[in-house]
Amino acid sequence: MLVLDSKDVVVVKLLIDISRITFTVTRAAAEKTDMNGTQKFDRNSREPLWTVQVMALDEAGGEMLVVTTAGVPPKVTVGQQVVPVELEAIPWAQNGKNGTAFRAKGFSPVTSKQAV
């Protein structure tokens, strides 16, 4: 997905197809903090950042992901099945290390019809 940021720069968002993945909350929402324990804020919106740990499970197996959201803390509980809204993969590299961060607009609870 191509979007413009606040400086009218084109940004490519790597949205993940989650249609065949189930997500279960394994750690409730917590403040995303810096190395000093101070909560981080989104650079553009200035909204507080939160993290939720989920297990992503598909036919190949499971992975633990820490997903960041901005705004109000997500209302999720451990063990709850959820659907991340617009789950985005964000590759990063710093000081010779690299990985992938995950961000979502929020989480929707899975209804009993969706869980079947």
Tens of pLDDT along 53-64?
999 999 999 999
pLDDT at 111: 83
User: Could you read off the pLDDT of 77-95 as tens digits, one per residue?
Assistant: 999 999 999 999 999 999 9
Q: Is the pLDDT of residue 71 over 70?
A: yes
Q: What is the pLDDT of residue 12?
A: 79
Give the residue from 57, 48, 62, 110 showing the smallest Cα distance to 85.
110
List all residues 6 or more positions away from 33 whose beta carbon is below 8 Å from its beta carbon: 39, 40
pLDDT of residue 46: 97
pLDDT(115) > 60 = no
**Tell me: the pLDDT tens digits for 1-42?**
555 555 666 677 899 999 999 999 999 999 999 999 999 999
The angle formed by the CA atoms of residues 35, 99 and 55, to the nearest 5 degrees, is 90
